[in-house]
Structure 1
Amino acid sequence: MKLDRIQIDPERMNGQPCIRDLRLTVRRVLELVALYPDRNELKQEYPELEDEDIRQSLLYAASSIDDRVIELHPYAVAA
């Protein structure tokens, strides 16, 4: 998986993963995708943000979530 647009620098944005040389964190991009369901409106507000930036932000977030199965047991019913 190629994530060449995601940068982590302890000297920038408190070490949070950012998009290229922009002052936009991956977290902020994910928020923006949720807030602007219309990509054209998102691009009007943030013209520096490219489709590949958004794609890689989503990939980065997905890869950082632990994908494990947790078995849920029903509550014991008191008799």
Structure 2
Amino acid sequence: MYSRISIDPRVCHGQACVKGTRIPVHQIIRMLANGDTIEDLCREYPGLDREDILACLDYAAALAEEVVTPLQAQGH
């Protein structure tokens, strides 16, 4: 589904990472949320390119889109 994202239990404790790296998706998303630009991230991590970062955003969006059904408390 995501050719640029990998999840491997032997890499970063199974966290989603940019494929071929040990850079977790959550780290990229957090850096963007803190004001870093795509260009900043590409300079900071020379192994990344724009498409990797956009794949991280797409992956995070897909997770945020998941439907979570809250459990009802017993007796309600």
**TM-score scaled by length of structure 1:** 0.71
The aligned counterpart of 2:41 is 42
Query: Identity over aligned residues, as a percent?
Result: 34
**Higher-helix-fraction structure:** 2
CA contact (8 A) 2:42 2:48 kept: yes
| Structure 1 unmatched ranges of 5 or more | 69-79
Pair 1:10–1:38, CA change in 2 (3 A): closer
Largest Rg, 1 or 2: 1
**Per-residue Cα deviation, 1:6-40 (whole angstroms, up to 9, x for no partner):** 10111111011110110101101111222343333
Residues matched between the structures, number: 67
